[in-house]
Structure 1
Amino acid sequence: MTTIDLGRPEAGDVIDLILDDHRRFEGLLRQLRDASSDRDAVREAFATLHVAHARAEEQCVYPTLRRRDAIDEHEAEHGAQEHAEGHQALLDLLECAGTDTQKFDDALEHLASVVNHHLTEEELTILNPAREDVPPGTRESLGEAFAAERNRQIDAGCGSLQTVRKIVAAAERDGLLDD
């Protein structure tokens, strides 16, 4: 369980909740780049948030947006592929023995690149259309479902090395990662 506060939203517009997490990712990446921070604690927090956020989106948000034609099947699949790529990059960072090595810095640079690409693309191609195409009441109910799943995942310790390894192995089996 991470010692860094990841927030515990219980309700709200799902778009705002997702954007709040996106800003958290950016802040955690800044902390990971800072050699004076407790990089092990930040790495654990980032892993927990990444897995919880991705699972909540894939289980609660993407299917509903797809059913409401706010996004198409390709966008939902592409979002899942980008989550898988993020999990793979996260696994590479988690498997670094120390946080003061060139291997860690290289893994962090790759993770930041993958995550920042996904955040930008998701905000442009999924969240903006959802803001226009999904009524506020639906976004509120999606927010409750997203927050509940996100918090459940965090409480379950979803960012452990073993869990991320399992997620990446499943993504490979499902063809979500390029060889």
Structure 2
Amino acid sequence: MSEISIPRPTQGDVVDLILDDHRFFESLLRDLRDATADREAARAALSAVLIAHGEAEEEKVYPQLQRKDAIDEHEAEHGEEEHAEGNQALLHLLECKGTDTQKFDDAVEKLAEALNHHIGEEEQTILNPARTEVDEKVRRDLGEQWLARRSELLDADCGSIEFVTKVVARAEREGKLPDEGEEKD
């Protein structure tokens, strides 16, 4: 397995940086669907960057945007619930033994569905208000904080199945995941 390099910028506008990660997720999802791609490398890279991205957003970005009144508590909570659902789908993907099975393909599609839904909503309901209602300097400071936390998580092997399992278990304890068979709104 070759390794896919995860971009690690150190500064920028938090909105642009998050959008860059969203495009990277989409590229990795395309690789996961491609039988000729290194699916194992794509799975490892997506797992690491997805967990680092979401955890850093919840710790650094959402609280700051709430303080700036760019988003309300419901939008932040909804974003966290969608992260939890994506992380749960990611865990199912990581639990697949091989990358050439129907189970793997199904897990990729389930993850893609959760991710694409979240990306669309987040870009409209969280990032647009952040872009228009939060000062550029604040967005740049927030970008640095978010990137620093994202890098710490990447360095801590946050994409490992053990780390992802802990993140999903925490979301379950906090009630951010629907019960089996139940849909979150």
TM over 0.5: yes
Q: Distance in 1 between matches of 2:4 and 2:106?
A: 24
Q: Residues 64-115 of structure 1: CA distance to partner in whole angstroms, max 9, x if unpaired?
A: 0001100000000000000000000000000001110000011100000000
User: Aligned partners of 2:82, 2:25: CA distance in 1, in Å?
Assistant: 15
Partner of 2:71: 71
The residue aligned with 2:160 is: 160
One-letter identity of the residue aligned with 1:5: S
Alignment of 1:161-176 (within 5 A): 161-176=161-176
Partner of 2:183: none
C-alpha displacement of 1:126: 0.2
The one-letter code sitting in structure 1 at the alignment partner of 2:110 is H
Q: Say if 2:85 is the partner of 1:85.
A: yes
1:57 is aligned to 57
Rounded to whole Å, the distance in 2 between the matches of 1:147 and 1:165 is 23
In structure 1, the gaps of 5 or more residues are none
Question: Helix, strand or coil for the counterpart of 1:83?
Answer: helix
Identity %: 62
The residue identity in structure 2 corresponding to 1:104 is F
Q: Secondary structure at the match of 1:79?
A: helix
Q: Deviations over 1:103-146 (max 9, x none)?
A: 00111000000000000000000000111110000000000001
> Is 1:8 aligned with 2:18?
no
Question: Separation in 2 of the partners of 1:129 and 1:154?
Answer: 28
Calculate the TM-score normalised by the size of structure 1. 0.98
Are positions 1:147 and 2:134 aligned together? no
The equivalent of 2:133 in structure 1 is: 133
**Corresponding residue of 1:36:** 36
Inter-partner Cα distance in structure 2 for 1:35 and 1:166:
30
State the distance in 2 between where 1:38 and 1:7 align. Answer: 18
Say if 2:27 is the partner of 1:27.
Answer: yes
**Runs of 4+ off more than 3 Å:** none
**How far has the Cα of 1:3 moved from its partner?**
2.2
Partner of 1:46: 46
